[in-house]
Amino acid sequence: MRQLVLLSGKGGTGKTSVTAALADLASRTGPVVTADADVDGSNLELILNPRLMESHAFMGGQVAAVDPVLCSQCGLCVDVCRFSAVIPAIDGHRVDPSLCEGCAACRYQCPDDAIRMQLQQAGQWFRSETPFGPLVHARLFAGQENTGKLVAEVREQSRRVSLEIGRDLVLVDGPPGIGCPSIAASTGVDLALLVAEPTASGIHDLERALAMLEHFRVPALVLINKADINPHRSRAIAAFCREHGLELVGRVPYDAAVTGAMVRGQPVTVFDPGGPVSAALQQAWEKVADRLTAVAPASAAT
Amino acid sequence: MIIAVGSGKGGTGKTTVATSLALALAAADGPSLTEEGPGRLVFLDCDVEVPNAALFLKPTLDESETVGIPIPQVDLEACTFCGRCAEVCAWHAITVVGHQVLVFPDLCHGCGSCALQCPEAAIREIDNVIGTVESGRAGSIIFGQGTLDIGQPMAVPVIRRLKKKHLSAMTDGVAILDAPAGTSCPFVECLRGVDYVLLVTEPTPFGLHDLRLAVEVARDELTLPVGVVVNRDGVGDAAVDDYCREEGIPILARIPLDRRIAEALSDGHPLVAALPEYGALLDELLGHIKAEVRR
């Protein structure tokens, strides 16, 4: 089983549009599993035209709840909570679930045994069918924590579905940033494709995303998107790749067809198969596929 | 008066709008969004996973402090290896194996429960550094940014520290917060306690999808007033307009699709500095925010 994650550090560089195009290109030799690991901005479903097959509750973390009958308002819970989640009140203390980290420190300290930990549903995950193969995606409820845990669930389910359909590939559309959800999307994958933008922010964030991948020992390739917005900075990214021994798999030009495809709800390679974006992505995919064949599957080592 | 600039989707122009708003305010006599008149102008980059505002505002950062999470350190002389610490840890960040206690700093949330529960009082807490808060000035703007260390998962404590440092004593003036992408805990932490949320979106299916999620968090969960800035106006379809009309969310400004903007930003030039003709648009946006906040 080989897993490819698309990351960028910076948001809006085109991760999801590229993932959708790769799903189309990869599916030409048989259905491929795609996983949307950007669970609080899941946009892949808007392009891959999914038909929902399964829907499951995602249980996140625990949240403390105070029983007002047992509570003697001693205030120990207020003192031990480092997240300011316990709100003192004369008629029994209360917990703000949005602030509660679920550590249960209050529960263990409560002399009245008045605090219970309750498991919260923090979102849902779905299995859908698309013209390109199965899609595993999710929705984190508004403002919830445990993003990384839901990403891990999406990863695990997509791995399972991939074994089920007998295709040795999972495409993971990663989240922006380099923290908890990005780490959950990257650990244990075989290869990362960094979608970079030739802008001051794009290069800064590419370097941070790359450092995160190096930290977790995930090999990476680079694709420059909207390359002609700033040719000077595109060359700077190419030079950066050479210096760091990173393979640059392509330069995708800025083209209104990408937004056109998004509005139509199609991968750009379906919307405008003869266009310059599709040509660049086709070439890039061939290089990525070669590298995927060459890497030893990370899952085989574990 | 604290304004957070967020979006849901990444790359819609949060940093562009936030930095330009700050520069427009700085260029005026002083930040006078409120009735009290001019006061301090603070800009905080709360996108601590990938902070970019400094690339545009080019501040001088002369102050730096680390952000740590208190993690357990076990005194093995006093420890009886009873395993109570592992039992109470919700994150499996501490475990007892024979006559050894293993601590996994990256899993620890710093709740202190293990230390409180240890019957031998054998656990003390030490700081595990996860990031940095830096401060300085960009002209008349007081600038602060948080940076999460590479490989660290938790952005929230860094955002919390950055806000506490600069906003806890704030009584006058204006603070502009550049929010992180997404709508999960880092976004929520950034929005806590602000007076107004400006959501920057693009008129595409992705922009709309993530704008809805951001509205659910900012307006519905946190009950904050929200307004929208449409960036790259004209690029996609009219669905964002329809949504805002149905939801009664004001569209406070429209930044047109203009390749010159993309080119200026790609070289790290703030919008109002590179293309002064957009100054009027930002002044108008400030006026709208002022009117919205008064309501």
Name the residue ranges covered by the structural domains of chain B.
Answer: 2-40+170-294, 67-129
Do A86 and A225 sit in the same domain of this protein?
A: no
Do A160 and A293 sit in the same domain of this protein?
A: yes
- Cβ <8 Å between B184 and A215: no
B188 to chain A: which residues are within 8 Å by CB?
98, 143
Do A297 and A211 sit in the same domain of this protein?
A: yes
**What confidence category does residue B52 fall into, taking pLDDT thresholds of 50, 70 and 90?**
very high
Which of A98, A101, A179 has its CB closest to that of B109?
A: A101
Mean pLDDT over residues A14-25, rounded? 98
Chain A (268-297) residues lying within 8 Å, Cβ to Cβ, of chain B: none
Do A41 and A153 sit in the same domain of this protein?
A: yes
Nearest alpha-carbon partner for B117 in A117, A74, A63, A76: A76
Mean pLDDT over residues A75-86, rounded? 95
Chain B (59-78) residues lying within 8 Å, Cβ to Cβ, of chain A: none
Do A116 and A257 sit in the same domain of this protein?
A: no
CATH number of the structural domain spanning residue A288 = 3.40.50.300
Do A64 and A109 sit in the same domain of this protein?
A: yes
Task: Provide the residue range defining the domain that includes A83.
Answer: 59-121
- Cβ <8 Å between B90 and A62: yes
Residue A296 has pLDDT above 90, yes or no: no
Identify the pLDDT of residue B259: 87
Number of CB pairs < 8 Å for A and B?
193
Please indicate if any CB of chain B lies within 8 Å of the CB of A176: yes
Chain B (206-245) residues lying within 8 Å, Cβ to Cβ, of chain A: 206, 209-210, 213, 216-217, 220-222, 235-237
Number of domains in chain A: 2
Do A100 and A44 sit in the same domain of this protein?
A: no
Instruction: Name the residue in chain B with its Cα closest to that of A256.
Output: B235
What DSSP assignment string belongs to chain A? -EEEEEE-SSTTSSHHHHHHHHHHHHGGGS--EEEE--TTS--GGGTS--EEEEEEEEEEEEEEEE-TTT-----HHHHH-TT--EE--TT--EE-TTT-----HHHHH-TT--EEEEEEEEEEEEEEEETTEEEEEEEEPTT-S-HHHHHHHHHHHHHHHHHHHT-SEEEEEPPSSSSHHHHHHHTT-SEEEEEE-SSHHHHHHHHHHHHHHHHTT--EEEEESSGGG-HHHHHHHHHHHHHTT-EEEEEPPP-HHHHHHHHHTS-HHHHSTTSHHHHHHHHHHHHHHHHHHHSPPHHHH-
Domain stop point among A75, A92, A121? A121
Instruction: Name the residue in chain B with its Cα closest to that of A83.
Output: B111
Residue B31 has pLDDT above 80, yes or no: no
Please indicate if any CB of chain A lies within 8 Å of the CB of B90: yes
Q: Measured between CA atoms, how close is B99 to chain A, in angstroms? A: 25
Whether residue A186 is contained in a domain is answered as yes
Whether residue A187 is contained in a domain is answered as yes
Asked if A258 and A276 count as a contact pair (C-beta separation under 8 A), the reply is no
Rounded to whole angstroms, what are the CA distances from B73 to A58, A106, A275, A302, B89? 34, 21, 60, 30, 14
- Cβ <8 Å between A215 and B262: no
Whether residue A137 is contained in a domain is answered as yes
Mean pLDDT over residues A114-132, rounded? 96
Whether residue A54 is contained in a domain is answered as no
**What confidence category does residue A302 fall into, taking pLDDT thresholds of 50, 70 and 90?**
very low
Identify the pLDDT of residue B230: 97
Residue A301 has pLDDT above 50, yes or no: no
Q: Measured between CA atoms, how close is A31 to chain B, in angstroms? A: 25
Nearest alpha-carbon partner for A241 in A211, A221, A218: A221
Which of B48, B150, B266 has its CB closest to that of A200?
A: B266
CATH number of the structural domain spanning residue A102 = 3.30.70.20
- Cβ <8 Å between A104 and B50: no
**Predicted structure pTM score:** 0.95
Please indicate if any CB of chain B lies within 8 Å of the CB of A62: yes
Q: Which amino acid is at A278?
A: S
The architecture in CATH of the region B67-129 reads 2-Layer Sandwich (3.30)
Do A293 and A159 sit in the same domain of this protein?
A: yes
Write the pLDDT tens digit of every residue in A211-259.
Answer: 999 999 999 999 999 999 999 999 999 999 999 999 999 999 999 999 9
Whether residue A126 is contained in a domain is answered as no
Instruction: Name the residue in chain A with its Cα closest to that of B215.
Output: A142
**What confidence category does residue B292 fall into, taking pLDDT thresholds of 50, 70 and 90?**
confident
Please indicate if any CB of chain A lies within 8 Å of the CB of B184: yes
More confident call, B52 vs B33: B52
Do A281 and A142 sit in the same domain of this protein?
A: yes
State the complex-level ipTM: 0.94
Please indicate if any CB of chain A lies within 8 Å of the CB of B155: yes
**Letter string b/e over residues A261-289, b meaning 16 or more CB atoms within 10 A of that residue's CB:** bbbbebbbbbbbeebebbbbbeebbebbb
Do A116 and A227 sit in the same domain of this protein?
A: no
Percent of chain B at pLDDT exceeding 70: 97
Please indicate if any CB of chain B lies within 8 Å of the CB of A13: yes
- Cβ <8 Å between A201 and B117: no
- Cβ <8 Å between B206 and A215: no
Instruction: Name the residue in chain A with its Cα closest to that of B153.
Output: A180
B210 to chain A: which residues are within 8 Å by CB?
41, 43
- Cβ <8 Å between A259 and B235: yes
Which of B111, B112, B221 has its CB closest to that of A143?
A: B221
- Cβ <8 Å between B109 and A216: no
How would you classify the pairing of strands B174-178 and B2-6? Answer: parallel
Which of A108, A144, A182 has its CB closest to that of B88?
A: A108
Do A235 and A100 sit in the same domain of this protein?
A: no
Identify the pLDDT of residue B29: 59
Residue B204 has pLDDT above 90, yes or no: yes
Q: Measured between CA atoms, how close is A197 to chain B, in angstroms? A: 9
Do A11 and A42 sit in the same domain of this protein?
A: yes
| Mean of the per-residue pLDDT values of chain B | 93
Identify the pLDDT of residue B33: 54
Please indicate if any CB of chain A lies within 8 Å of the CB of B263: yes
Q: Give the CATH superfamily of B2-40+170-294.
A: P-loop containing nucleotide triphosphate hydrolases (3.40.50.300)
**A36, HSE (Cβ side, Cα atoms, 13 Å):** 27
